[in-house]
Amino acid sequence: MSGGSRDSYCKRASERSRSYYSGDAAARSRAQDQRRRDNEAARARIRRDPPRQHHRPQRDESEVLDQSAVKRRITRPAPGVTSVDVFIIDNTASNRQISMHIKASTGWLTSTLDTMTPKSQMAFLFWSDHEHTERDATMREDIDFAFPNKEGAKTIYSTAKSIRCPTYGNDHPEAFECALKAACEIDFGPDVVEKHLYLISDEVAHGMNSPMTDRGCPRRVNWRDSLASVHKTFDTFEVIGVAARRATAECQRQFIAEDRLKYDFIDLSHLSLKHRQGLVMNTLLFLVARHQGLQSVGFFLQLLHDKWLSDPDPSFGRDTASFAKKRILEFKKYLEGDEREIDKIFEAIFV
């Protein structure tokens, strides 16, 4: 459900940020009135224009694709960086479409984070299974730490374009026990004090009692040991499940401690592939915003709501407005805090 350029996303985010965080009550009121008018016009257009099958125009890569910006090995965060986000992305054949969608959505990712967390850096581990090391792709491919600014966006997009995805393989446990272990072995340098880890996958690690055939980890890495290291290394660990099978989704719950399960495991398995694709990057951004506090969550969800409505070619046609409201309300159950404050934040979204 993307369709804009990074520059257009940045412009909208910057405009929304100035009004949302402004200390001038009159300026905030004027911005909210303008936002209400824009959204009313968008809803009218969605009701008026018939839905259609379409192909989005190919993205202009001239300002974001630069082979000299490719950084395919994680090093360490820049000096002075105190907060980092590390994303483990399932890059297997069974998750190919989700993985490709994430790579294609890096403009939306970086433009949003450039507004919310401009001083943080992020790194990616695209991960598959041991068998892929010996055939047409490697088990691990990285994107080095980068800021969400224009230069960082170039590194992330250019490197993501160079990452291969296996063209074969079945839907069975993957080497995430090794991925979690690798994330804990990153050199975070002397300045980082806040670390967040995220996993997006349609599968589980070896040894997690998957209903599918489990070949085991040839390196004899135990997923429970890796998870224990994650809890020692990172401040938070969250999982976005995009499994096609409910049985697999149930197994994925083992990644998260029982007392955090209802907050830190977001299961999208009940949705169609089209809806999972439309939500996976936005779910990731929601989790990043959540670490910044309820105000940042409110800002992001307003931005997301308006992005979906303003899309000149909405992916869900006349259902886009209702889809946007329904899906954004789903995020509410993953928030902790004063219920009245949370209700107030969500009331402000749907204008």
Q: Which domains does the chain have, with CATH numbers?
A: 6-349 (3.40.50.410)
Residues in the chain: 351
What's the count of helices (H) and strands (E) in the chain, helices before strands?
Answer: 13, 6
b (16+ CB within 10 A) / e for 140-153: bbbbbbbbbeeebb
Residue 198, both tokens: 């995220």
User: What digits encode the pLDDT tens for the residues 81-90?
Assistant: 999 999 999 9
Residue 285, both tokens: 């951004």
**pLDDT number for residue 212:** 83
Distance CA 28, CA 21 (A): 8
User: What digits encode the pLDDT tens for the residues 117-127?
Assistant: 999 999 999 99
Give the residue among 330, 323, 318 at the shortest CA–CA distance from 42: 318
- Angle, helices 106-116 vs 273-292, to 10°: value is 20
Q: Which residues of the chain have pLDDT under 70?
A: 1-4, 50-60, 62, 132-137, 166-171, 315
**pLDDT number for residue 100:** 87
Burial of 333 (0-12, 13-18, 19+ CB in 10 A): exposed
**pLDDT number for residue 141:** 92
**How far out from the chain centre does Cα 301 lie?**
14
Give the residue among 137, 151, 155 at the shortest CA–CA distance from 67: 155
Q: What is the DSSP string of 5-67?
A: -HHHHHHHHHHHHHHHS-S-HHHHHHHHHHHHHHHHHHHHHHHHSPP----PPPP--TTT--G
Distance CA 199, CA 10 (A): 26
Distances (CA, A) of 243 to 158, 172, 202, 277, 286: 28, 11, 4, 12, 19
